Amino acid sequence: MSTERAYKVFKIENGTVIDHIKSPLALKIIEILHLQNNGIISIGMNFDSDKTAKKDIIKVENVYLSKTETDLIALFSPTATINIIKNGEVIEKRLLEMPDFVFSILKCPNPTCITNHFHDCDTKFEIFKVNEKTTNARCVFCERETPVVPEMIK
């Protein structure tokens, strides 16, 4: 008896496909991009992948994410790929680029930072690569530098 199992991932006619997300980050990516109420979302998690050992995939029907939006994914999953689909065909394959700054997405790990004491104070971080595996963020307000990890999401 074979232990292999075929997985069915449904094709979408129009929308955005985010593939090769480092597992298990699909739900965090949906949170970062505020996709919870944007049309039909299909999520696949923990698929085998040559790129990342395990991967997640997100398909958002009838929603076309901008490059600015999808580049935020690079913070947590730089190997992810973006496909824009129209009429069942891939019309754009997009590579991710690390943003220089991010606003209101990350929480400062410094307990004395002003952004942690005022509810209406938005955060702003400068983003930079340390090496191939590590991306750091520097809080513009308190200048605390820290590696970017999913737990920093507000």
Give the strand order in the sheet containing 124-129: 101-103, 124-129, 135-139, 145-147
Same domain, 89 and 121: no
For residue 130, give its domain range.
Answer: 101-152
Residue 8 pLDDT class (50, 70, 90 cuts): low
Q: Is residue 128 part of a domain?
A: yes
Task: Give me the pLDDT at residue 2, please.
Answer: 47
- How much of the chain, in percent, has pLDDT values that exceed 70? 94
Q: Is residue 74 part of a domain?
A: yes
Task: Give me the pLDDT at residue 78, please.
Answer: 87
Give CA–CA dist 129/111, Å, rounded. Answer: 24
Give CA–CA dist 17/112, Å, rounded. Answer: 39
Same domain, 76 and 117: no
Q: Please give the torsion angle defined by the CA atoms of residues 140, 142, 145 and 151, in that order, rounded to the nearest 10 degrees.
A: -90
Q: What is the pTM of this model?
A: 0.84
Q: Is residue 2 part of a domain?
A: no
